[in-house]
Amino acid sequence: MDDFIELDGVEKVFEVRRRTGFLRRTRTEVRAVDGISFRVARGEMVGYIGPNGAGKSTTIKMLTGILVPSGGRLRVAGIDPSRERTRLARRIGVVFGQRTTLWWDLPLRDSYGLVRRMYRIPDARYRANLDRCVELLDLGALLDVPVRQLSLGQRMRGDIAAALLHDPEVLYLDEPTIGLDVVSKAKVREFLRDVNAERGTTVLLTTHDLTDIEQLCKRVMVIDHGRLVHDGALDGLHAIGESERMLVVDLERELPPIDGILGARTVKVEGPRQWLAFAATRSAAPVVAAVAERYPLVDLSVREPDIEEVIARMYAGRASL
Amino acid sequence: MAEPRPRRLSAPYEGVRAYCLVVGMWVRSTMAYRTSFVMMALGNFVVTALDFAAILIMFSHIDTLGGFTLAEVAFLYGTTSTSFGLADLVLGNMDRLGRRVRDGTLDTLLVRPAPVLAQVAADRFALRRLGRISQGALLLVWSLVRLDIAWTPVKVLLVPVMLVSGALIFGAVFVAGAAFQFRANDASEVQNAFTYGGTTMLQYPPTVFATDLVRGVTFVIPLAFVNWLPALRILGRENPLGLPGWVDFASPAVALACCALAGLAWRSGLRGYRSTGS
């Protein structure tokens, strides 16, 4: 009952025809999604990550009913999305990071008016939901501004609000923070956390930004070449992938490579700046403390492992087993 | 289930409703650039008027065209322009579908609780297209005043029936053309050949064209039913193909058949898109 999203061996096979000569074409099968099974409970917030072309978007398109699966069984809220796409549409919210649904030349408010009428949202509920989104996403000053004049971050916030006005039970976000500045990213994340906590909205988000996952999702699923290669906590992912975070320190002057820090090793030196790698599962604090204790520290930053790199390592690790 | 299942409303009603909602948004968007709208509407009117000016110039050198007088040609011109204008106003931007397929924005329409056909049909709705209709209608009225027709109730009724059937036939071509764009992304030129090309042809009497062409637009792509066949009856002219008389009244049936075929083509196109995603 609590399994809100159910996938059992879901497949999506595309047939790609390529011109190989005059009038001659060869057909190749591309298995974009190659037998994926998972369950998402109502109210869960799950990260769905993987390199470009891994099958993330294809999965989202099947979950929303845009694409018809080639095989397997798929249910969202007990509904088969591809068969009852329009009926399901009232119960889901979708944000495609790079494709806005807002009306370019009209004030933001007008786009919401269309949503209200198209989804037949009762007046009271519409007003309550809009007020909430306006408050939490800081849209008050933007409602009467034509969308074309909004910044990317403002537009993304506007798009997220548009997807939530009809109280969807599940929200799919495809790269919701792509191209946003730090402030906008933080605002979006905070809002998503609120929505999930207060309304119990199930959230499934794809992203390239591991920070999104770290701050939002207890659970992360990794897809690569159409297969699910990890389903569990983010920490687990780091452990499996043996991924490393990078501590970048600026010292007062050029010094020989930093040595003798427990659990960290210096991988690069460039003048007074040095790079120390340490396991992503460890906290940065003791490493920073140890360096600061013995070296004249001017500035520092910590870089999170890149998602592609983590997955690449996972594969390298699996291959060597 | 969290909420009661909404009342099941008929798909045509939902489609028309969604269409009107989206059209309303486009009209408002257009009004954000008022001057540009006025200029475009005027431009549209002038361009279509130039078409007819070409015919006028022709008639300044000859008395009849293929045996048809100026008023008769104006009647043909007015009927096809009005029919085409109606279809063009309602569905004219469906050829943008190819672009939506290519840049992936069609997906944003597919996740809404409204028929996709209605949303695509309303895409970039352009009020300036009223220019073509008003010009066609003006000409039609002018020709009706000038023509010396022995009006019977049947002939009177045939005029609106012809206009609506014509609009439906052109509309079906628009929809079928768009459906084809699911597969061949840039097929809009082929579709234009039938729509814009078709209406230009129908402005002239069928007698100026080769019989094979007339046969083609009667039996293959039934554009002749837009105005030629019923108009010949109204004008009291011979059918150039010597077809039986009832054919002149077949336009509504042909229009419905075209719409049904276009609907099937659309469904198959959409199904194809949803299984390939491109």
Pairwise CB contact (< 8 Å): A110 & B274? no
Q: How far is CA A288 from CA A263, A285, B150, B235, in A?
A: 12, 5, 100, 94
Interface check for B18 against chain A (CB to CB < 8 A): the answer is yes
Q: What is the rounded average pLDDT of the residues B60-66?
A: 84
Which of A156-160, B51-55, B220-224 comes out lowest in average pLDDT?
B51-55
Q: What is the rounded end-to-end Cα distance, in angstroms, of chain B? A: 34
Chain B residues with CB-CB distance to A95 below 8 A: none
Contact between residue A48 and residue A25 where contact means Cβ atoms under 8 Å apart: no
Nearest CA of chain B to the CA of A138: how many Å?
24
Three-class SS state of B64: coil
The pLDDT tens digits for A201-258 are: 999 999 878 788 888 998 999 888 899 988 988 777 766 666 788 899 999 998 889 8
Say how many C-beta atoms besides its own lie within 10 A of residue B27's C-beta.
Answer: 13
- Across the interface, which of A61, A106, A118 has its CB nearest the CB of B277? A61
Say how many C-beta atoms besides its own lie within 10 A of residue B84's C-beta.
Answer: 30
pLDDT above 90 (res B84): yes
pLDDT above 90 (res B86): yes
d(CA A3, CA A234) in angstroms, rounded, equals: 21
Nearest CA of chain A to the CA of B230: how many Å?
41
Q: Write down the CATH number for the domain with range A3-239.
A: 3.40.50.300
50-69 in chain A: CB under 8 A from chain B: 58, 61, 64-68
Q: What is the rounded average pLDDT of the residues B104-129?
A: 91
Interface check for B127 against chain A (CB to CB < 8 A): the answer is no
Which of A157-171, A289-303, B1-15 comes out lowest in average pLDDT?
B1-15
Q: What is the rounded average pLDDT of the residues B41-57?
A: 80
Report residue B82: phi and psi, to 5°: -70, -45
Pairwise CB contact (< 8 Å): B111 & A66? yes
Q: Which of A27-31, B116-120, B191-195 has the highest mean pLDDT?
A: B116-120
The pLDDT tens digits for A50-90 are: 877 888 989 999 999 999 999 999 999 999 999 999 999 99
One-letter amino acid of A20: T
- Across the interface, which of B21, B107, B275 has its CB nearest the CB of A96? B107
The two structure tokens encoding residue A153: 């971050």
Q: What is the rounded average pLDDT of the residues B191-217?
A: 85
ipTM of the complex in this document: 0.83
Band of pLDDT at residue B1, cut at 50, 70 and 90: very low
Nearest CA of chain A to the CA of B173: how many Å?
25
What are the extents of the domains in chain A?
A: 3-239, 244-304
**Percentage above 70 pLDDT, chain B:** 95
The DSSP call for residue B65 is B
Which of A9-18, B6-15, B202-211 comes out lowest in average pLDDT?
B6-15
Q: What is the pTM of this model?
A: 0.82
Chain B residues with CB-CB distance to A68 below 8 A: 271, 274-275
pLDDT above 50 (res A180): yes
Pairwise CB contact (< 8 Å): A89 & B111? yes
Q: What is the rounded average pLDDT of the residues B20-36?
A: 90
